[in-house]
Amino acid sequence: MANTAALLRAQELWKPASRLPLVRDEPVFLPLEVPALKRLWKKGLTRGGIAEVYGNRSSGRTSVYLHILAQVTARGEVCAVVDLHNSFHPGSAATVGVRLEQLLWVRCQGNAEHAMHAADLLLHAGGFGAVVLDLCEASARVLNRIPLSYWYRFRRAIENTPAILVVCSGIQQVKSSANSSLWLKRKALHWSGQAPFYLLRSLEFTAALRTPRAVSPPLSIRAVT
Amino acid sequence: MYACLYRPAAEDAANRLLELALHFSPAVERTSSDTVVFSIVSLRKLMGSPHQIASEICRLGYEQKLEANLAIASNPDTAILLARNCAGVILVTPGEENFKLASLPLACLFAVQTNVSLDLLETLQRWGLKTCGDLAALPEQGIAERLGATGIYLRNLACGKINRALRIPPPKTSYEERMELEHPIALLEPLLFLFSRILNELCGRLRAQSQGACALEARLELEEQKKYRCELEFPVPLTESAAMLKLLQLHLERHAPEAPILAFTLRLKTTEPRRVQHGFFLPPAPPADKLELTLARIEGMVGKQNVGAPVLLNTHRPDAFQIAPFHVPDMEMVQKSLHTETPADQQVLRLAIRLFRPALYANVKVAGTAPQGVSAPGVQGNVIRSAGPWKTSGEWWASTSWIREEWDVALDDGALYRIYQESPSREWYVYGIYD
């Protein structure tokens, strides 16, 4: 048997069925404009993947995802926000630069099952540049009941498409299905004026990016009013 | 062979001529309000020679007291020219067209073909041509060199050499189907099976006529003489029955008929189909028909009022917006507007607010005028620092009026909230979180 294999090798009687090299498509990125976010996502958000943004209240989650939406709509693409607790503020979004006419807003009135199902339908419909799943105000009990299989399904639905799924929540949800997870923590509030006449100027927060391969050192980012 | 009937200066000529022509052939061309042409080829076995056919047409015309010119020729245009310019009955045997048309004035060619410019007639008259025979006698090559394709067409018309098919208008297609059921149907699934069959048939007609459907109307006849009607409007013209069936199913699941169904009628409203050439460099957008299905499914879950594009209202009232139906924007227009509009400064991260809808009723401890502690469902803490009050009011002339004092408060739970006190009730609410 070994002799036959050696003979075949020596005489080159066999050849691979195809000589086409295996080529993986180069990933496409969505570049971000804020310098601190640029340092975290060097090339930008990976298209066809899940980006997770999580942290406590007032940690800058909403500001970050609105910035992502602004970047996507500025390229002329259509986006969707699946809003679990009806907390999306269109006025803030317009101020950040989100083009509202290119935005589909789905309000789920606190029903997490509807939110997951709506996100699933939108991702499978295709054609969206970014879909934001906003689970920010959901309780830990509700979040822990979301099956992990949903995230695998979402990852499979958007790979090889230009869409980005941004999951925004209080605790880390997507885990290994996410291409990158951005952890945010409030650092400081900056006020102007003197007591008792203060004026809110900015919110400073710490951000660290966790990818399957590495964890970036925390960076300080400011969101100004 | 073709027969042409011409009856000038009569009000009801068109209908009576058409009625007479339809006695002999179903293929009738209404050339103008006073002229009809029809084929008599198939009548030869029934009635005999063209002479016998002509006499039969004359006999029926006499019975109907219809006075008209009749010409029979081997092609429709020769028959028309002769009927319009020669009184009585004229029969042209094949090969004699040139001879019969030779004496007709040149202007009659321009009456048949209306899209030929009358300037050409003037040119021909200046050349000294008066009759069709004069034009037919000119060499074809010379005409082509001087007058081009139009000149050749006119010369062939004058020679009686133009063979064309009759211009018969297509029969009006009905996009409505009714089905009566032997037994009443109470379940949706067997009903959809029948809908599918009918919609397939209607969509086949749509495609055959190069049309699209912009709306689907379903009328159901229910037990106890009840009626059910729904109309689904599509944002883009559809031609596929699967998408229509799914939309109808989603609608019927949400708004089920109240009794079993005895009969139903489906009708499609037609429009021009969507012909879109997507640009190479345009960003991707959801396919309109697929998006419509997706939105219908999501609306079925969360309600129609909870799905759409947010539109800011032109007012200072806090959180003033409305939800508009979402349609995929025209990508070319979006690209153009991106070039014309000045974008917001993207280098700076803007602080956003997320709202509690409705605002959370709160118990607030106040020292002097400033809040010291906030207690609301899910929000609890002492105020570390606050900014305010920001007094706002407006729309005092309407039921949507508001007067309130807003505060930005940083609580010891680590979050930054916007709270407000309403006037005149003096009640406190948590409006949202800076995030």
CA distance A132 to A138: 15
Mean pLDDT of chain B: 88
Range with the lowest mean pLDDT among A42-56, B276-290, B354-368? B276-290
Length of chain B: 435
The better pLDDT of the pair A21, A124 is held by A124
Q: State whether B347 and A35 contact (CB < 8 Å).
A: yes
CA B232 to chain centre: 14
> Mean pLDDT across the stretch A85-106?
92
Q: Whole-prediction pTM value?
A: 0.71
Question: For position A1, what pLDDT does the model report?
Answer: 55
CATH 3.30.70.270 assigned to domain B2-159? The reply is: yes
Question: For position A12, what pLDDT does the model report?
Answer: 62
Structural domain including A178 reads 27-220
A110 touches chain B (CB under 8 A): no
Whether residue A36 lies inside any domain: the answer is yes
Whether residue A20 lies inside any domain: the answer is no
What would the pLDDT profile of B111-151 be if each residue is shown by its tens digit? 776 677 788 888 888 999 999 999 999 998 999 999 888 88
Give B408→chain A minimum CA distance, Å.
Answer: 7
CA distance B68 to B322: 68
Total domain count, chain A: 1
Q: State whether B346 and A101 contact (CB < 8 Å).
A: no
CATH number for the domain spanning A170: value is 3.40.50.300
High-pLDDT (> 90) share of chain A, %: 51
Question: For position A5, what pLDDT does the model report?
Answer: 65
High-pLDDT (> 90) share of chain B, %: 39
Cβ neighbours of B257 (radius 10 Å): 21
Nearest in space to A89 (alpha carbons), one of A118, A55, A63:
A63
Q: Which residues contact A148 (CB under 8 A, 6 or more apart)?
A: A175, A177
Q: Is B186 helix (H, G, I), strand (E, B) or coil?
A: coil
With tokens 């099976």, the residue in question is: B193
B287 touches chain A (CB under 8 A): yes
Cβ neighbours of A167 (radius 10 Å): 25
Whether residue A15 lies inside any domain: the answer is no
Q: State whether A57 and B435 contact (CB < 8 Å).
A: yes
A122 touches chain B (CB under 8 A): yes
Chain A CB contacts of B332 below 8 Å: none
Whether residue A190 lies inside any domain: the answer is yes
What would the pLDDT profile of A198-220 be if each residue is shown by its tens digit? 888 999 999 999 887 788 888 89
Q: State whether B387 and A199 contact (CB < 8 Å).
A: yes
How buried is residue A37: exposed, middle or buried, by Cβ count under 10 Å (0-12/13-18/19+)?
buried
Domain B176-271 classification at class level: alpha beta
Chain B CB contacts of A104 below 8 Å: 295, 307-309, 326
What would the pLDDT profile of B155-187 be if each residue is shown by its tens digit? 998 898 888 888 888 778 889 999 999 999 999
Domain ranges for chain B, please list them.
2-159, 176-271, 353-434
